[in-house]
Amino acid sequence: MIEVELVGAELSRASAVNGGQSAAGLPSAAALPSLQEIRRLCALAAGSAGVRDGHLAIELVDELRMTELNGRYRSSQKPTDVLSFPIDGAEPVGGARELGDVVICLAHTADLREAIVHGVLHLVGMDHETDEGQMLSLQQELLATESA
């Protein structure tokens, strides 16, 4: 089973008071998929690489935090939609894996479901910057399967 820890959802819950956006500029909690759907998307993406047991965290952050992370780890001084921080890497390990963290900036994410799948595919070793389109093709296939 893929265990998912969701961090930062409280940022979007505050948005109901501010007309649909939180003080951090995030969409309302109503726009977020349920935790059950988030878990299903993570399991689907990890399962596509044969990973059935493990743990990962998804953190929802504001633009300031994403800019900080993107600067520190990718030398880009602007926010991006999603960053992934794998822990166990792509090599098989015995037992459950510590997959890593997916950090998503909702203010720069048009489709949270797509960002989740994208981030988890990176955690299991895929990279659209070095492959020949396989990761993004699989991503679209998985999202189509999930929405069917």
How far, in Å, CA of 89 to CA of 38, rounded?
Answer: 22
- Average pLDDT of each block of 10 consecutive residues along the chain (148 residues)? 88 44 47 88 93 93 94 92 86 77 94 95 88 89 83
**52: which 2 tokens?**
């059935």
Residue owning tokens 């020949």: 132
pLDDT of residue 89: 65
50 Ramachandran zone, left/alpha/beta (phi>0; psi -120 to 50): left
pLDDT of residue 147: 72
pLDDT of residue 94: 67
Stated as kind and residue range, the H or E segment containing 12 is helix 9-13
CATH of 2-147 given 3.40.50.150, 3.90.1570.30, 3.60.150.10, 3.40.390.30: 3.40.390.30
pLDDT of residue 23: 44
Domain boundaries, the chain: 2-147
pLDDT of residue 128: 86
User: The whole model's pTM is what?
Assistant: 0.83
